[in-house]
Copies of this chain bind each other. A is one copy, B any other.
Amino acid sequence: MAHSYQFARPALTVDIVVFALDDEDLQVMLIQRDLAPFEGAWALPGGFVRVTETLDEAAARELVEETGLRDIYLEQLYTFGAVDRDPRERVVTVAYYALVNLAGHDVQASTDARRAAWFAVSDLPPLAFDHRQILDTALARLRAKVRYQPIGFELLPERFTLRQLQHLYEIILGRELDKRNFRKKVLGMEFIKETDEIETDVAHRAARLFRFDKKAYDRATRRGFDFEI
């Protein structure tokens, strides 16, 4: 590695694919651009990385600034470096994806969030730059990872019913699951703890609420347990 940079430097940004779940669909948060290029088009939240912050910090900061979301699950996805992905100049972007429980966070909390909106991943508008490719990569990662890491819980409230959990997997994986087999598998995981609460305000028998116990999960993992749905 040479000591100093004899060439021009690419600019460096972060972009974040924020996923949430409603009753019907997996959703993604997009921001409507107010500047050229792609003025008026929808884009992923993101922005330039400062020299004084890590990549994770840049992603978390942009998320707060552009969407008002803070303290949510955030994981680096992939770094996109096509030479012409930004028409103005060379920009390399480190993409992240985030998972948020819609019920627990107020997206309108930020003034900069006025142009933010949720879209179903099955019905997306055209996106600026290569953001469609980034989003597709994030979706593929989420679909693969949700099966062998307990990240799905990030999309649910802290207390959830088994029906909600099953529904989450059905939406993300895109196929139906057998209710009895699903419950058998999940109830066999000792880190999915039954609480003494039940649903309220439902027009039918109320379901038991469960919670994900991270410490118990870590203990099981150390014993060699492999999460899998």
Contacts and interface: CB of A to CB of B under 8 A. Distances in A.
- Determine the interface band of chain A, counting residues with CB < 8 A from chain B: 35 or more
Majority SS at the chain A contact face: loop
A43 B1 contact: yes
B76 A94 contact: no
A35 interface: yes
A53 interface: yes
A81 B13 CA distance: 12
Pick the most buried of A35, A58, A78: most chain B CB atoms within 10 A of its CB: A78
Contacts of A33: 1
A54 B35 contact: no
A202 interface: no
A48 B79 contact: no
A50 interface: yes
B7 A9 contact: no
Interface string A50-79: 111111101000000000000000001011
Given A7-B50, A53-B83, A54-B82, 16 more contacts: A1-B13, A1-B35, A1-B43, A2-B35, A3-B35, A9-B12, A9-B51, A12-B12, A54-B81, A55-B79, A55-B92, A56-B81, A58-B81, A76-B78, A76-B79, A92-B94
